[in-house]
């Protein structure tokens, strides 16, 4: 076993694992998705429901993924095969591998946008107008493909380095920089005129805005943002040592993810109102706040430009650098799922596996680069439906096939006084009944809406 353990790799330090898992969780979903969803769903009331989804459904499922991963020390397909019986369990893992590849196909294009926008203000303020205009073209297939490929190459180069030398080292470097840039930028935006109006909208809940649509958006966002439902955290858990406390680590990861999303909102929502103050339109024809790509790729760059000179370069570059780094720590974990599957199940060396899967993702991402209207379709199928479906199958499998008592045995490793833990006492009921019931409800309604009900 120890031979196999060494070959698969391990996290070097406890903090390294938490940062890597938090790096997976903190991504475009936090810095772009969360503020966008808050803007789209009427502000602070969304935040409350989102926090509830993360704690009631997200955290228990995350603990389940880590437990299955560490217990089996396998990729998702191998893990479900090892713990279950028959042909169905490995399909749960295979679904995760498919979701990973398909989410990467569009995530890489958006990550490529954030990467290209790093250069916009720099080129503009230096007077290279056509270069500045080129990097912001989101409808140009060749430009999109170029930056998506660059991003895929960066991801492959880290994955090739392995668990501790590649993934752990990269995320340990990037996460503190990311948090520092975010805090400094949010603090700066707070000092600008107009920001208090945004702050009010962000922090004061209007309970009349809570409806089913809001709850479903919050649940989808929680799955995507916490990276659960497709075995990414199961895979990260498979590199965990027995002396690490899974419950504690999962709690840190969930809190870090929620905290950074909240911070990103503190930057982006007030920044929109600062932009409005500077004469930029932030309310669409439908009377709602701009959201989605308009917010991040139109309103904010407009705000940076209006500041002019060095400040525009510093803020514009820092913001998109922040988004790119957050995206990179997530693409690493998305790619690691299919790569670990190819390594474990098909006995392919890591380097070759990374290039093989990375090459496939490249082909798909180039396709999406030329047809960006596919992004929302892919997002709905593989995120809104795919991840909750994966989370549902995982919880049902754990509770009814592997059994929570075996999972609890796994969770007790590294836990100092497990018998005193309130979390461990309630967790079985959460993964067995509450989480699957809530996920199923959201899934059925999402599907009903999708099919035009
Ligand atoms: N959590 C990432 C984000 O918020 O952008 C996206 C993600 C990463 C989803 C890894 C799923 C996953 F397995």
Residue 213: predicted pLDDT: 79
Confidence (pLDDT) at 5: 42
Ligand 1, closest atom to CA 327?
A: 5
> What pLDDT is stored for residue 7 in this prediction?
64
* CA-326 nearest atom, ligand 1: 5
Separation of CA 68 and ligand 1 centre (Å): 19
Most ligand 1 atoms within 8 A of CB, residue of 227, 326, 328 to mutate: 227
Among protein residues, the one whose CA lies closest to atom 11 of ligand 1: 227
Whether pTM exceeds 0.95:
no
State the first-to-last Cα distance of the chain, in angstroms, to the nearest integer: 52
- Whether residue 15 is predicted with pLDDT greater than 50 in this model: the reply is yes
**pLDDT value for 3:** 39
Q: Which of 387, 389, 365 is nearest to 440 (CA)?
A: 389
| Per-residue tokens: 86 | 């028959």
Q: In this predicted model, what pLDDT tens digit does every residue of 92-124 receive, in sequence order? A: 999 999 999 999 999 999 999 999 999 998 898
Q: Whose CA is closest to atom 12 on ligand 1?
A: 227
Q: How far is CA 397 from CA 69, 136, 198, 400, 412, in A?
A: 14, 45, 44, 6, 20
The model's confidence at residue 413, banded by pLDDT at 50, 70 and 90, is very high
pLDDT at 2 over 50: no
Measured in Å, residue 125 CA sits from the centre of ligand 1 at 34
Identify the pLDDT of residue 414.
94
pLDDT band at 244 (very low <50, low <70, confident <90, very high): very high
Mutate to test the pocket of ligand 1, among 334, 338, 379 (most ligand atoms within 8 A of CB): 334
34 lines ligand 1 (CB under 6 A): no
**Cα(226) to centroid(ligand 1), Å:** 6
Check pocket membership of 254 for ligand 1, CB cut-off 6 A.
no
Coil/strand/helix, residue 230: coil
**CA separation for the pair 443, 389 (Å, rounded):** 7
> 290 near 272, Cβ under 8 Å?
yes
C-alpha 330 – ligand 1 centre gap (Å): 6
Task: State the pLDDT confidence band at 434, using cuts at 50, 70 and 90.
Answer: very high
Q: Which residues contact 197 (CB under 8 A, 6 or more apart)?
A: 270, 273
Q: Is the CB of 220 under 6 A from ligand 1?
A: no
Residue nearest to atom 10 of ligand 1 (CA): 227
Domain ranges of the chain: 3-450
Q: From the CA of 324, how far away is ligand 1's center (Å)?
A: 13
Closest-CA residue, ligand 1 atom 7, reads 227
Query: Which of the residue ranges 67-76, 116-125, 221-230, 344-353 would you say has the lowest mean pLDDT?
Result: 116-125
pLDDT over 60 at 394, yes or no: yes
What is the band of 312 on the pLDDT scale with cuts at 50, 70, 90?
confident
* Gap from CA of 276 to ligand 1 centroid (Å): 31
Q: Are 37 and 272 in contact (CB under 8 A)?
A: no
Task: Mean pLDDT check: name the lowest of 129-133, 141-145, 407-411.
Answer: 129-133
- 155 in ligand 1 pocket by Cβ < 6 Å? no
Task: Tell me which CATH code domain 3-450 carries.
Answer: 1.10.4160
CA dist., res. 193 & res. 175, Å (int): 30
Check pocket membership of 62 for ligand 1, CB cut-off 6 A.
Answer: no
Query: Where residue 292 falls among pLDDT bands split at 50, 70, 90?
Result: low
Q: What is the mean pLDDT of the chain?
A: 91
Other beta carbons less than 10 A from residue 128's beta carbon = 14
Confidence class for position 300, pLDDT limits 50, 70, 90 = confident
């Amino acid at each position: 076993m120890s031979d196999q353990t060494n070959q698969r790799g391990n996290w070097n330090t406890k903090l390294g694992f938490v940062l890597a898992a938090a790096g997976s969780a903190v991504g475009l979903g936090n810095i772009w998705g969360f503020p966008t969803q808050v803007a789209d769903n009427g502000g602070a009331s969304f935040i409350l429901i989102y926090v509830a989804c993360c704690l009631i459904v997200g955290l228990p499922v995350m603990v389940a993924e880590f437990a299955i991963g560490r217990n089996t020390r396998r990729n998702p397909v191998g893990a479900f095969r090892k713990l279950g019986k028959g042909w169905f369990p490995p399909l749960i893992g295979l679904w995760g591998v498919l979701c990973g590849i398909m989410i990467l196909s569009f995530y890489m294009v958006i990550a490529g946008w954030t990467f290209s926008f790093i250069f916009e203000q720099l080129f503009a303020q230096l007077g290279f107008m056509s270069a500045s205009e080129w990097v912001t073209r989101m409808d140009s297939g060749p430009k999109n493909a170029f930056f998506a490929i660059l991003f895929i190459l960066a991801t492959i180069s880290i994955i090739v380095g392995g668990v501790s030398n590649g993934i752990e080292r990269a995320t340990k470097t990037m996460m503190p920089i990311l948090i520092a840039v975010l805090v400094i930028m949010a603090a700066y935006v707070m000092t600008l005129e107009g920001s208090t109006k945004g702050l009010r909208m962000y922090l004061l809940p209007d309970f009349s805005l809570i409806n089913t649509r809001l709850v479903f958006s919050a649940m989808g966002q929680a799955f995507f943002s916490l990276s659960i439902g497709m075995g990414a955290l199961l895979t990260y858990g498979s590199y965990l040592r027995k002396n690490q406390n899974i419950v504690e680590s999962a709690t840190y990861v969930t809190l870090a993810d929620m905290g950074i999303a909240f911070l990103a909102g503190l930057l982006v929502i007030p920044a929109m109102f600062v932009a409005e103050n500077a004469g930029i339109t932030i309310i669409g024809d439908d009377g709602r706040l701009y959201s989605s790509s308009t917010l991040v790729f139109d309103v904010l760059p407009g705000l940076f430009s209006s500041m002019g000179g060095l400040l525009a370069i510093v803020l514009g570059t820092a913001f998109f650098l922040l988004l790119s780094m957050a995206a990179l720590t997530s693409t690493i974990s998305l790619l690691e799922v299919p790569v670990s599957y190819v390594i474990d199940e098909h006995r392919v060396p890591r380097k070759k596996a990374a290039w093989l899967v990375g090459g496939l993702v490249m082909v798909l991402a180039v396709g999406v680069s030329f047809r960006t209207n596919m992004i929302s379709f892919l997002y709905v199928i593989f995120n809104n439906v795919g991840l909750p479906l994966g989370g549902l199958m995982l919880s049902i499998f754990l509770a009814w096939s592997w059994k929570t008592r075996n999972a609890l045995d796994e969770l007790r490793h590294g836990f100092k006084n497990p018998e005193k833990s309130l979390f461990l006492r309630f967790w079985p009921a959460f993964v067995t009944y509450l989480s699957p019931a809530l996920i199923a409800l959201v899934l059925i309604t999402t599907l009903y809406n999708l099919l035009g009900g």
